[in-house]
Structure 1
Amino acid sequence: ATKDALQTTSSLTSLDKKWICLSSGCLVKVDISFAVVGGVLRDQNENWILGYNRYLEFCSVSEVELWGIMDGSLLLLERSYDNVIIQIDNMEVVLAIQDQACND
């Protein structure tokens, strides 16, 4: 993968294969030292497949987002989904994933 692989799409329905969308979000509550991450998996027609969440000890926002992507990715692997789009709004996480992919 390259940094040019970053693509924006407004709708999964325009894709020609069966794609699954992994959307992840997080909540970090600093004053009581906890974080929660959750996400949802949807098909190319934006129908809900399943949701997930995880309670974490205190982490940075980027770490929590990465946990969400990992948890969602593991669920997708367990269900043998091959075509995945990850939707995330944290540029630090996007760049970290792209940098790691370029180094592998």
Structure 2
Amino acid sequence: MEHVSRLVWDYYDAKTVTAVMSFSDHAIMNIGWQPPSGNYVKLNTDGPSKENSIAGCGGIIKGNQGEWLRGFAKGVGVCSAFVAELWGVHEGLLYAWRLGFTAVKLNIDSIAVVDAIKNGRKSSSIRNSLVKQIRRSLELDWDIKIVHAYRESNKCADALANIGCTLDREIIHYDSCPNQIRNLVLDDEMGITPRIIPM
């Protein structure tokens, strides 16, 4: 089988419409989750760190009709938000691969994380280890597009990651949408969120 590993960087993946209010150098744009095209699935991941540095990660996989496919939440112990974000990407890619998806659009709401994965930038040992593992996953025989997404289109992954913060280094896989985020999933399908952006 031909090896395919296609990466797309620095692309803002958000459904935007005409500015509804403009300022001298900023405008309010409406942003919402956008389904992937073709045979792709979309994987959104996130990873917060709370005030006590207890962190978690989570992610959601949805189809090109916006339908729920899978989700996960994991506790990752004490670490920074940056490391938690890397954990989310790592676990999300492993999960998607094990489920047999061959075309994945990965959305990350941290430009720094996208840049670290792209450039393999060296930093702390745990960060380096996670980045290396992520890059190895990207070299598998599948088609991956990595994009930066506004946080307004990443709310479901954020909610699952916050569930992860309550877990003690365990992971939960969701075959169906958990009740805690059902309304957010519906918002993804129907709604848009305003965001002020520079012009």
TM-score of the pair, normalised by structure 2: 0.44
In the alignment, structure 1 residue 99 sits paired with structure 2 residue 119: yes
Structure-to-structure mapping, 1:1-104, within 5 angstroms = 5-9=9-13, 10=15, 11-13=34-36, 15=37, 17-31=38-52, 33-100=53-120
TM-score of the pair, normalised by structure 1: 0.80
Residue-by-residue CA offset, 1:46-75 (whole Å, 9 max, x unaligned): 111111011111111111011111111111
Amino acid at match of 1:21: K
Unaligned 5+ residue runs, structure 2?
1-5, 16-33, 121-134, 140-199
Percent identity, please.
Answer: 23
Structure 1 vs Structure 2 CA RMSD: 2.1
C-alpha displacement of 1:30? 2.9
Aligned equivalents of 2:9, 2:44: Cα separation in 1: 18
Amino acid at match of 2:106: I
Unaligned 5+ residue runs, structure 1?
none
Moved runs in structure 1, 4+ residues, more than 4 A?
A: none
